[in-house]
Amino acid sequence: MVRADDVEETVEPEPAQGVDILPDHDITTNGEPGVAEDIAEDVLASAPEPALQRSDRARHPSTRYSASEFILLIDAGEPESYVEAVESTEKSQWMVAMQEEMQSLQKNHTYDLVRLPKGKKALKNRWIFRVKQGDSSTPPRYKARLVVKGFGQRQGVDFDEIFSPVVKMSSIRVVLGLAARQDLEIEQMDVKDRLSAWRS
């Protein structure tokens, strides 16, 4: 009589799907150099690459904002170029703002008119236009800035020093902390001409 404890059940492992099974035989290299590496490369080359999966879900654009609402959010109605400024309905305001900027640049001797050295190219410039909205009682102010396209300069060739009179955030935090501690009032102001305000 055979008991259940005496019977050993052998379970053959199932091969993984998509993987080639090599024949059951011993691989001998006979001491030849490089044969084991060749066999390893053959085994790796015969293994199939996993299939790439892509999501079958259709992509839809966001419906949070319609196109007209999105344009209202991002477009402040400010011209992007000189041509847009002089062709806009606010042409007179932009012309006044550009005239003020040119007078400010001349007053501060921001540039000097000189002859261009031989073999050198002048840097181009562009106008930046912004509308500063005040509260409901004050009309909006039109500001124009003439800026040089400085990305065409090379340090050591066209300039040596870099300076920008901008306050650090740590300084602002100190001032706000002192004002809060001593119960002081803080007022904000807009400096129309940064260079002359910095020099004085």
Task: Tell me 145's DSSP state.
Answer: E
The pLDDT score that the predictor gives to residue 51 is: 59
CA–CA dist 77, 72 (Å, integer):
9
Which residue has 């009032």 as its token pair?
185
Taking 70 as the threshold, does the pLDDT of residue 6 lie above it?
no
Query: Could you give the percent of the chain with pLDDT greater than 70?
Result: 62
The pLDDT score that the predictor gives to residue 161 is: 73
Q: Which parts of 21-140 are beta strand (E)?
A: 125-132
Per the document, the length of the chain is 200
Taking 80 as the threshold, does the pLDDT of residue 159 lie above it?
no
The per-residue pLDDT for range 13-67, each reduced to its tens digit, is: 555 555 555 555 455 555 555 555 666 676 666 666 665 566 666 777 777 777 7
Count of CB atoms situated within 10 Å of the CB of 97: 21
**Over the Cα atoms of the chain, what is R_g?**
37
The per-residue pLDDT for range 84-132, each reduced to its tens digit, is: 999 988 899 999 999 999 999 888 888 888 888 888 888 888 999 998 8
Encoding tokens for residue 59? 């992509």
Taking 60 as the threshold, does the pLDDT of residue 195 lie above it?
no
Handedness of CA 166, 170, 173, 179 (dihedral sign): negative
The pLDDT score that the predictor gives to residue 67 is: 73
Contacts for 82 with CB less than 8 Å, ≥ 6 apart: 126, 127
Of residues 156 and 74, which shows the higher confidence score? 156
CA–CA dist 19, 21 (Å, integer):
6
Which residue has 């065409």 as its token pair?
152
The pLDDT score that the predictor gives to residue 50 is: 60
The per-residue pLDDT for range 136-155, each reduced to its tens digit, is: 788 888 999 998 887 777 77
Spatial contact of 133 and 124, defined as CB atoms under 8 Å apart: no
Question: Torsion angle, CA of 40/42/45/47, rounded to 10 degrees?
Answer: -80
